[in-house]
Structures are given as structure tokens and as C-alpha cells.
Amino acid sequence: MVSFKLDRLVREFMAEDLGLEQIDRRYPRFLSMAISALRDLRYDNIGGYEKEVVLDVNDNDTVDLPLDYIDYYAIGVCSNGELSGLGVNTNLCDVAKDDCGNRTEDTQVLESDTMGVFSYYTDYNDKGEHLGGNFGVGGGRSNIGQYKIYPDKGYIALQGYTGSQIILRYKADIQSVNGDYEVHPYDVQPIKDWIWYKYVSKSRSSNLGTIQLAERAYAKSKKQAQKRHSSFSVREFLNAYRSGFRGSPRV
């Protein structure tokens, strides 16, 4: 896949859109605008700044989230060369804290008492026959273990997981991006349109009409990039078609 470095994109914008023959002291400003464009695109799930890390499990069955964490794609362990996911359990409670507000090794609220309240509530008829129905249980059960993410508190709570590490595949913030960042081809035009929109918005010589036109141009190219990222390729279409096709004998 052909890609642009962010540095090249910014230099092209300064040359093509502003007519600058050489890069001047305003380059850092435009690079900062380009990074803010990436952040805006990622917040709307366009493209993706995806990272995968191996994280240690703490003694209190929690895992600290990375500082640049925004949202997750998968949580699990590597098994036979593939990522096997843990199951989400929305019934997991916040872990216990000491008098100073720090999380402790005591995981009272994650133990079997919680499971006893929610997981094993079932129903029987007057003949003692089990009617099924485990009510109050979060979905996504897994024999590896379960998890619940507390993004505002910066950790993942685990239950029933015996390993010492997990794999977290997640959407990362753009805070550490620089000019060497590889930009997806679909995102080049919306990033340039964002820079132009921010540039004219801060320019004293720009009127309201110019600013509105720049804003609409960015919205249009952003929507186009979103469509391109989410579209099926021919190969994906054929794979999906063949996986659902089953031959039947003639009669």
C-alpha cells in the first residue's frame, strides 16, 4: 500500500495550497494542525492508529491501561498463533481500595459473591424441572476469563483469568505522532482540507463565506474517506460469498 509520511503531506500543502517556494518557520504550526486532523479522524473511527501491547496482570487481578488508550479492539491471549479473546462481563464491579484510594490486592467485589447474586439465578417449575434462564449475566463468556474496562479509572478488571499477561489491541491517541507517521492514502485529502479549514479560520483576512466553504470541503472529504475505509474489496467479497456457498446435489 502506498502511503505518505506526514512530513511530506505538510510540505505539499504548504507548496500547493499556500504557494510557498520554501518551507519557513510556520512548518511546525502546520504539522501541529495535521496531527490534530489525525486525532479528529480517529475519534470518528476513520482509518485507525492501532497498537498492540502485552500488559502485565497486577496482583489484584487488574491491568493498567496505556496512557494513550482511547478504545479497544480486542483483549486476549496468543494461542496457536491466533488471538483468543477473553469474554466481556459487564457485572464485574470496581475493585476494592484502601484508605488512600489506591486499588488493593483484595478483590472482594470480583469474587464468587457477585457471581452468586447474578449468575446462578435460575427458574424451576412445580415438578422441580429446570427451566433454564441465567438472568443478569453479562454476555461474551469465555473459558479463558472475563474482563470489564474502566477507562475513566485507567484499568481493566479481570475475573477467572490465571495468566500473568494479556494482549491489548487498541485505538491509541495521536499524542506521540511526528512527521515520520505514515498516513493512509484515503486520509491525505481530508487532512489537507482540515489544515486549510483551520488556517482560514484563524486568518484575519478570511470572511465567513470562505471559512464555511473550507469547513464543508473538510466534511465532504472526511465522509469520502470513511466510505473508502469501510468498503468491501473484491477479494473480501469473494471470500464472503464462497464461505456462504454450499453445493447441493442435483435431483
Does 197 or 232 have the greater pLDDT score? 197
What's the chain's average pLDDT?
A: 76
In the chain, where the domains are located: 4-47+175-244, 50-172
Residue 58, pLDDT score: 94
pLDDT in tens, 178-210: 788 888 888 999 999 999 999 999 988 999 999
pLDDT in tens, 85-123: 899 988 888 876 665 656 565 544 434 333 333 333 334
pLDDT in tens, 36-83: 998 888 777 776 567 789 999 999 999 999 988 888 888 999 888 888
Residue 30, pLDDT score: 93
Residue 179, pLDDT score: 81
pTM greater than the 0.75 cutoff:
no
Q: Whole-angstrom Cα distance, residue 105 to residue 137?
A: 25
Residue 98, pLDDT score: 62
* Confidence tier at 163 by pLDDT (50, 70, 90): very high
- For residue 136, pLDDT over 60 is answered with no
47: left (phi over 0), alpha (psi -120 to 50) or beta: left
Q: Whole-angstrom Cα distance, residue 1 to residue 16?
A: 24
